[in-house]
Amino acid sequence: MDSSASTNKALKKIRFSELEPSHSGDIISALDRSGFEICTPVQAGTIPLLCSHKDVTVEAVTGSGKTLAFVVPLVEILRRSTSYPPKPHQVMGVILSPTRELSTQIYKVAQPFVSTLKNVKSVLIVGGRDAKYDMKTIEEEGCNILIGTPGRLAVIMERMEFLDFRNLEILILDEADRLLDMGFGKQVNYILSRLPKQRRTGLFSATQTQAVQDLAKAGLRNPFQVKATAKSKSDSSQQPTDSKTPSGLHLEYMKREADEKSSQLVDLLIKNKKNKLIVYFMTCACVDYWGLVLSKIPTLKSISFIPIHGNMKQNAREKAIASFTEASSGVLLCTDVAARGLDIPGIDYIVQFDPPQDPDVFIHRVGRTARLGRKGRSIVFLTPKEKLYVGLMRVRGVPLQKGKCSENASNVIPIIRSAAMEDRAVLEKGLKAFVSFVRAYKEHHCEHIFKWKELEIGKLAMGYGLLKFPKMPEVKQDRLSCEGFTPVEGIDIDDIKFKDKVREKQRQQRIQARKEKQQEEKGKRNPKKAVVVASADSNNASRKRKLTGKQRQTIQTAEDEEELARDSRLLKQRRKGKITEDEFERRTGMI
């Protein structure tokens, strides 16, 4: 069944106190204290259905108020339950979400409403800490509402068999498409198998993929469909169309060569010093690198840069989010770990330095701004060869307008290169970021647009401010051209030191140990054999000088193929986990 919230203009004016079935006075008071009076379309379309014991599948633009759309009915359903108030280990409600950050946010939003229930305890269950900590908390304090990620919740359910799910009233799956995309399908199915079929289920998502539809068929009974979209005009000549992005969001794209993107980014940041921005990158290594580099550019000294990505420890991620949330201005540099669910107030601008691998993530990224009817801006950087992405987004309900490039943007590549020559940390992070981006680009979901063999890696390396071009097996195998890259002359990369004296001392110790090992190996060799080899090498060099150009080219090609085969073997070993990333980079001469 379909309840299309987007087509009913009256929904925008409905107050929570006017919804049917009516809410308890405690809930209305909690809503008033939190500043909520008027329902958003998705709230007005969803809350009455869940409170009437209907299953729902909800498709709504990000930032439309989905969290409140399931928190309020969950609390009301529990209040009206025949099992209320519950026993300490009697679980009556479960909320699943794909990330720790989103689960934490849902937990915080829910607390003012859960606190209106007597003897009801909600517990946050996420990874990043020992499961024994959660188990001890549940055992000692009890739990009636579980909010968390599927992986950790499945572990808790498996280990704590005394938890009673027989009277479970409601299950919520938030960001359901992401739950499945992140590989949580097995855990979700296990959790569903442990829960009673006589329950209410709400499935919330910004996009209804086939996997989500299949999950709805398996876990919901005759669900009502709620769809809340925004009306948007892609240009003045076209009729308004259903958009999957907030109506107050102005979407742009900037077309620039790969070696010009960094300068355009810096120019944009300078012009938005007093604003609050999120800048998205493709990989964790890219976030680390640009976080370091941007902080070293003199014109950006007054801006606070806060990095966050999936390889950071959980407490560091939480501190970064808290710091950025409290700030009145600044820049959050991140990967897609911050693309969904995070409701950080006051975001003015979303900048996508790298388009996401998965085009479905685009709308989640830009949805961090223009939330709940507010205004916001977004821009995505594209190279000329990626221009078809604009059409793809428009087909997907994301109308992109052409943004203006700054013709007066200062060239920051010399500044980045100077920073790399002064500190080896910049040099090494730049190489790792570049390599990680190239590998991620090769795995892009829209390979018909982001064509691997057309990637202009020379210009890309210049844009990253690299001093030299790294040796990459992937590049050699596909014979990609390095045209557009100019290495820095007159500098020995090995002579560049870490500014951090401790790291530099460790590096020198490794270099010395390597030299001693090489000398030790030479000493073990047969001296007579060494003389013969040296003589043979001398004769070979002499013969090589007498070879024709074609003969030398043949020999060089054979040597290149031998090196390529060796690098390919190392690449396979890295993928299988037989050698570490650092060992792979060292043995291929990348760093």
Q: What would the 3-class secondary structure string for 264-310 be?
A: HHHHHHHHCCCCEEEEECCCHHHHHHHHHHHCCCHHHCCCCEEEECC
The CATH architecture annotation of domain 2-228 reads 3-Layer(aba) Sandwich (3.40)
Provide the β-strand partners of residue 90: 164
Confidence of residue 400 (pLDDT cuts 50, 70, 90): very high
Please check whether residue 280 is in contact with residue 350, taking contact to mean a CB–CB distance below 8 angstroms: yes
* 322-339 average pLDDT score: 92
At 328 the pLDDT is 93
| Fold (topology level) of 241-477 | Rossmann fold (3.40.50)
Instruction: Compute the distance between CA of residue 50 and CA of residue 200 in angstroms, rounded to an integer.
Output: 7
Dihedral Cα 256, 258, 263, 269, nearest 10 deg: 80
Residues in the chain: 591
Q: What are 122-144's pLDDT values in tens digits? A: 999 998 788 899 999 999 999 99
Maximum CA extent, the chain: 98
Task: Name the least confident of 174-188, 240-254, 260-274, 280-294.
Answer: 240-254
At 473 the pLDDT is 79
Instruction: Compute the distance between CA of residue 516 and CA of residue 568 in angstroms, rounded to an integer.
Output: 29
Q: What are 412-461's pLDDT values in tens digits? A: 999 999 999 999 999 999 999 999 999 999 999 999 999 988 999 999 99
Pairing of strands 170-173, 224-228: unpaired
* 93-110 average pLDDT score: 92
Side-chain-side CA neighbours of residue 123 (13 Å): 25
From the number of C-beta atoms within 10 Å of its C-beta (0-12, 13-18, 19+), residue 45 rates as buried
Confidence of residue 564 (pLDDT cuts 50, 70, 90): low
Helix axes 413-422, 261-271, angle to 10 degrees: 100
At 420 the pLDDT is 97
Pairing of strands 56-60, 224-228: parallel
At 237 the pLDDT is 39
Pairing of strands 401-402, 249-255: parallel
* 247-272 average pLDDT score: 95
Query: For the chain, what is the mean pLDDT?
Result: 86
At 229 the pLDDT is 63
Domains 2-228 and 241-477 share a fold: yes
User: Which residue, 171, 182, 245, is CA-closest to 204?
Assistant: 171
* 538-563 average pLDDT score: 58
Provide the β-strand partners of residue 230: 243
Quick check: 401 pLDDT over 90?
A: yes
* 527-535 average pLDDT score: 52
Contacts of 153 (CB under 8 A, 6+ apart): 94, 96, 125, 146, 187, 191
3-class SS of residue 221 = coil
User: Which residue, 263, 333, 349, 269, is CA-closest to 301?
Assistant: 269
At 586 the pLDDT is 60
Q: What are 20-74's pLDDT values in tens digits? A: 999 999 999 999 999 899 999 999 999 999 999 999 999 877 778 889 999 999 9
Give residue limits of the domains in the chain: 2-228, 241-477, 563-591
Quick check: 528 pLDDT over 60?
A: no
For residue 512, the one-letter residue type is: Q
* 367-395 average pLDDT score: 91
